[in-house]
A = this chain, B = another copy of it.
Amino acid sequence: MDPLTGRIVLGPNRYGKAENRVVRIYRDTVRHEIRDLNVTSSLRGDFEAAHTAGDQRAVLPTDSQKQTIFAYAATHSGGSVEDYGLALARHFVDDIGPVSSARIEIEDFPWERVGDHPYTWTRTGPEVRTAAITVTGAGDTRREWVVAGLKDLVVLKSTGSGFAGFLEDPFTVLEPTDDRVLATSLVARWRYADTAAAWDRTYAGVREVMLDRFAALQSKALQQTLFEMGRAVLEAFPYLAEIRLQAPNKHHFLFDLDRFGIPNRGEVFHADDRPYGLMHVTVQREDAPDAGSAWDEYTGAA
């Protein structure tokens, strides 16, 4: 091919402060509450001179973003993480001149009270609640998106799952099965059609619907299971525009004990690490508002 000769220019860019580990204790009464967060900010805007000339006049330091994140944990701590993220994102877009778009990504680690003790907890998990808030523009062009979710929700069913009737090519050696272990570590993210919803109640509800569906459905494949989980969520929550599910197929291989004369009727498995099937499924409504920058990840690998 001919060499490219076009001008070399700055393309899409953004910057922020990643992984601020904010712990907020509510101690207005004898019975404390805790919120344990990992908060990341990301800003877009007119930062061309910073890149091409090293001119920082439009650049709010990432340290200032950190200070803001901690300060807002004190001053804007009344609601859910989605509200906190919206407050932060709106602040950056509205109050910092060169910023045209802000994204706040939050991990919210769950804790459980020890007995009914007023100020002692243990971490639960491994699942983590997530939120990603994006705010762009001002006035008529203002847009806001809230994506909530969870990750590392590890689920397993020991029966009620098969995989058969698949396409076979010359490299296909897999045997069909009508009874296998189905397990995954779920990442789910749902986009709200609105920016004022019952965040906490929806979180709990989506989680419950997904688990119920995973448990109840006779699975013909992980893809079908994921789609049905997503469909059930959208049916239950009419203010959700779409849901995206990402799930490894955590393979559990029946261990061959026949050679030792030991029967193994779906009882002893080797939980393998790698490789693993990996599924991405989106379930959406045909009348959903457009997604804009809602899915424009910042702290992901990309």
B-facing residues in A19-40 (Cβ within 8 Å) = 19-27, 32, 34, 36, 40
* Chain A positions 246 through 283: 1 when the CB is less than 8 Å from some CB of chain B, otherwise 0: 00110010010101101111111111111111111111
Q: Interface on chain A toward B: helix, strand, loop, or mixed SS?
A: mixed
Least Cβ distance of A234 to chain B in Å? 5
The winner among A260, A272, A297 for most chain B CB atoms within 10 A is: A260
Q: Report whether A270 and B227 are in contact in the complex, using a CB–CB cutoff of 8 Å.
A: no
Which residues in B have their C-beta under 8 angstroms from that of A219? 54
Per the bound structure, the CA–CA distance linking A211 and B275 in Å amounts to 31
Per the bound structure, the CA–CA distance linking A299 and B276 in Å amounts to 12
Q: Report whether A181 and B268 are in contact in the complex, using a CB–CB cutoff of 8 Å.
A: no
Which residue of chain B has its CB nearest to the CB of A64? B172
The reply to whether the CB of A198 lies closer than 8 angstroms to some CB of chain B is no
The reply to whether the CB of A158 lies closer than 8 angstroms to some CB of chain B is yes
Q: Report whether A22 and B268 are in contact in the complex, using a CB–CB cutoff of 8 Å.
A: yes
The reply to whether the CB of A13 lies closer than 8 angstroms to some CB of chain B is yes
The reply to whether the CB of A205 lies closer than 8 angstroms to some CB of chain B is no
Q: Report whether A173 and B63 are in contact in the complex, using a CB–CB cutoff of 8 Å.
A: yes
> What are 7 A-B contacts with C-beta separation under 8 Å?
A8-B231, A19-B274, A57-B167, A59-B167, A64-B174, A115-B212, A278-B298
Given contacts A13-B223, A61-B172, 6 further A-B contacts (CB under 8 A): A10-B282, A17-B276, A25-B269, A55-B220, A114-B214, A120-B158
